Chain A
Amino acid sequence: MFGPLDKYAAPERFYLLCKSMGPWLSAISLLLFLVGLYGGLVYAPSDYQQGDSFRIIYVHVPSAWMSMFVYVVMAVSGAMGLIWKVKISDAIARSCAPLGAAFTFLALATGSIWGKPMWGTWWVWDARLTSELILLFLYFGYMALQAAIEDRRMAARAGAILALAGLINIPIIHYSVEWWSTLHQGPTVSKMDAPSIHTSMLIPLLIMFLAFKLYFFAVLCMRARCEIIEQEKNSRWVKQLARGGVDS
């Protein structure tokens, strides 16, 4: 069905793929983190308005991007499990949820830390932060549903429908919240990613973004491996794996 991808869609192959990819992804993302953080915290010049406190965008913006990206990955892989019954996509979707929630939480936390010197308060009902907060609720809803259904297959399929419903709703939520915030505050002063960002500030941001993305895939590999073992624990290859230890 997926041509060359088909052979990786078998749980065993995917497990081995994750196992071999995981360390590489972790290593590269660690390297990128070091470069990106150096670039962001040391190399990039201070902002003429915000001083050094703008530097938190090197964590805030990538995690906000990732929070959306992970939801899309979760919903799309859920849909693949639902429609084509790809076994591994259930494991991927299930592994995504806590990661996405963590990125969303990080975006919220860094946003409010940035807000303290800027607005003088830890929390402001700013459009972006509010959207992120609602996204966090969507992640929590997904995880609560997964936890409430005992049968793994059923939980995965039910979760996929909820994730798809959420995916359709995310743009609606985003624009309605934007609408709401302009109504109540006028043009917002909270612009964190200025449109005309200087190149020396932008490059570390892009590196950080790449680092976040690779970090996500590295952790996804680890989590998906656990999920697949759990899901396939009755199959022959998992039993073999358990007997043969880690070297199989």
Chain B
Amino acid sequence: MSMQVTANQTDAGIELLPSSLVGQSLRCVRNDRVLFENLDIRLNAGEILQIDGANGSGKTSLIRILSSLAQPDEGQVCWKGKDIHAFRTDYLEDLLYVGHSNAIKVDLSLLENMFFARALSVKANEQIFEDVLHRLGLLEHADLPASNLSSGQKRKLALSRLLVCDAKLWILDEPLNSLDESSKAVVTDIIRAHIKAGGSLVLTTHEEITWDDIRINRVSL
């Protein structure tokens, strides 16, 4: 491991911490339009990477490249010094992704949704589902089909994965979308706890997030 890090240091001339996400000279072209090129990003443990930009500026494309769903047209993304496509399984074990869509089955109850979401993650938390739902204010719907939920409640159910799965790196696309103020507070608390525990976070959001004691790297597209 240490060998690899040193090797990378000389190669790229940037320092790599054990759990850091590094994107080098990323380029993305969609429908003949260059969304970004020569983009370098880096994120260490205990830090946040916030991606800003107008609609259509390529925020979601960048998120999808960082999550290994899409491949950049040029450049590469490394996690802990290893290319995320070459070492996909290692990367995915550390990754938790909540995309633009909620990945909720409206015909399943909330508890069933959480159960299957947890089954997909290799490292699951021993959190009790009812506690998680209580924290998110969804406990009363626990056994009802998710189709009964409002869009904000569905977003919260999607974010319940943050608590039932265990991952070092979170990649969240507009996590606070359609949430009311009190829910936003709950979610930002969850995020804060994750960072404080040494986790990392990549997110896109229109909200202003500021904490004095947490470093937020900003990328503007």
> B-contacting residues of A (Cβ < 8 Å)?
150-151, 233-234
Q: Is the interface of B mostly helix, strand, loop or mixed?
A: strand
Q: How far is the CB of B17 from chain A (nearest CB, A)?
A: 30
Binary per-residue interface labels of chain B (9-37) against chain A in the complex, 1 for a CB within 8 Å, 0 otherwise: 00000000000000000000111101000
> Bound complex: CA of A141 vs CA of B30, how far in Å?
25
Cross-chain pair count, CB within 8 angstroms: 7
> Bound complex: CA of A205 vs CA of B31, how far in Å?
46
Q: How far is the CB of B220 from chain A (nearest CB, A)?
A: 23
The listed residue (A150, A151, A234) touching B34 by CB distance below 8 A is A234
Please, how many residues of chain B have a CB less than 8 angstroms from a CB on the other chain? 5
- Which residues of chain B have C-beta atoms less than 8 A from A234's C-beta? 29, 32, 34
Binary per-residue interface labels of chain B (141-154) against chain A in the complex, 1 for a CB within 8 Å, 0 otherwise: 00000000000000
6 contacts between A and B (CB under 8 A): A150-B31, A151-B30, A151-B31, A233-B32, A234-B29, A234-B34
Q: How far is the CB of B30 from chain A (nearest CB, A)?
A: 7
In the complex formed, the residue of B with least CB distance to A233 is B32
- Which residues of chain A have C-beta atoms less than 8 A from B32's C-beta? 233-234
> Bound complex: CA of A234 vs CA of B32, how far in Å?
7
- Which residues of chain A have C-beta atoms less than 8 A from B29's C-beta? 234
Q: How far is the CB of A244 from chain B (nearest CB, A)?
A: 22
Q: List B residues 37-78 near A (Cβ within 8 Å).
A: none
> Bound complex: CA of A157 vs CA of B34, how far in Å?
20
Give the residue among B31, B32, B34 with the most A Cβ atoms within 10 A: B32
Q: How far is the CB of B35 from chain A (nearest CB, A)?
A: 12
In the complex formed, the residue of A with least CB distance to B34 is A234
Can you list the 6 inter-chain pairs with the closest CB atoms, starting with the nearest?
A234-B32, A151-B31, A234-B34, A234-B29, A233-B32, A150-B31
Q: How far is the CB of A150 from chain B (nearest CB, A)?
A: 7
Q: How far is the CB of A91 from chain B (nearest CB, A)?
A: 16
> Bound complex: CA of A170 vs CA of B173, how far in Å?
44
Q: How far is the CB of B194 from chain A (nearest CB, A)?
A: 34
In the complex formed, the residue of A with least CB distance to B33 is A234
Q: How far is the CB of A184 from chain B (nearest CB, A)?
A: 48
In the complex formed, the residue of B with least CB distance to A153 is B73
- Which residues of chain A have C-beta atoms less than 8 A from B34's C-beta? 234
> Bound complex: CA of A233 vs CA of B31, how far in Å?
12
Q: How far is the CB of B50 from chain A (nearest CB, A)?
A: 28
Q: How far is the CB of B88 from chain A (nearest CB, A)?
A: 16
Q: How far is the CB of A234 from chain B (nearest CB, A)?
A: 6
- Which residues of chain B have C-beta atoms less than 8 A from A150's C-beta? 31
> Bound complex: CA of A76 vs CA of B32, how far in Å?
26
In the complex formed, the residue of B with least CB distance to A230 is B32
Q: How far is the CB of A52 from chain B (nearest CB, A)?
A: 54
> Bound complex: CA of A150 vs CA of B29, how far in Å?
13
Q: How far is the CB of A36 from chain B (nearest CB, A)?
A: 43
Q: How far is the CB of A149 from chain B (nearest CB, A)?
A: 12
Q: How far is the CB of A201 from chain B (nearest CB, A)?
A: 52
> Bound complex: CA of A234 vs CA of B31, how far in Å?
11
Q: How far is the CB of A175 from chain B (nearest CB, A)?
A: 38
Q: How far is the CB of B186 from chain A (nearest CB, A)?
A: 38
> Bound complex: CA of A150 vs CA of B31, how far in Å?
8
- Which residues of chain A have C-beta atoms less than 8 A from B30's C-beta? 151
- Which residues of chain A have C-beta atoms less than 8 A from B31's C-beta? 150-151
